[in-house]
Amino acid sequence: MKIRPKRLQKGDTVGIIAPSSPPNIERLTKALDFLEELGLRYVLGNTIQRREHYLAGTDRERAADLQEMIEDPTIKAIFCASGGYGAARIADRIDYLLLEENPKIFWGFSDITFLHTAIGMYADLVTFHGPTLSSIGREQVAERTKLMFNQLFEPAEIYYDESISKLTTISGGRARGELTGGNLTLLVNSLATKFEINTDGKILLIEDIGLEPAQIDSLLNQLKQARKFERVAGIVVGDFVETNQREYEDSPTLHELLNSYFGHMNIPVVSGFKIGHDELNVGIPLGVDAILDADNKELAILPGVE
């Protein structure tokens, strides 16, 4: 069982970093107000306003930001300000043993998936797949998206059924396993590296944005050829937004594509979870046990903090 970080208390200080691309400062500013509403204080990393082409500073600078937040005992949680691209470039620069010895909340999604995988593997720590602060600062943010931050203050099981969004069973059954995964592109990027995603006996979450069906097909095929679906316990399909066909006019629908990969599998597979790139982004812990019941279209996830 992975280490659960300690819950947050009102008045705690959290660190904000940009391990990938530069954040939208206007949106981030609004998100900082939200953190204050939660009763939190914050410290901004040095690279929040830096830019190195499409990165928020150099690899050395971004890694140093994360490392300093890990080392600082007054920082109780680390929130990623933005996604984009670049987190994988600093994955081999982090002292994971230090993070394991000083466990704290780590929160983000999208490009941050690579760091979730790395931290889960080398620090043995539960992390949180939730909206970046820049996305919290958008004009339209679902109330439930913000409410999911409450799980950091009080251990609570997350229960997701069709009262939240319409769900579709692709393959029936029920399974329990450690929840892992995140952004599909980043999961594939981990293959053949020392941070390669381990799906054996696990409930795998996949989500992505801006990919047409042929691209999703290619990524799923690569995971299949890498044998990542052979011993997986179940699959949670999160949001796949902006999936309109572009290059190939005769494309399958997302459901048809998912069914071609998972419909014949003897494991539970359910799609439609609002976990990912949408106005409603349900933040969840990774590295804890979850139960996926495809027949009843239910997902139960154990608490991520202690």
- Which among 86, 98, 93 is positioned nearest to 52, based on CA atoms? 86
Residue in 171, 178, 190, 207 annotated catalytic: 207
Beta bridge partners of 209: 241
Known catalytic residue at 256:
no
Known catalytic residue at 277:
yes
Residue in 20, 21, 82, 110 annotated catalytic: 110
Known catalytic residue at 163:
no
- Spatial contact of 202 and 120, defined as CB atoms under 8 Å apart: no
Q: Which of the residues are catalytic?
A: 110, 207, 277
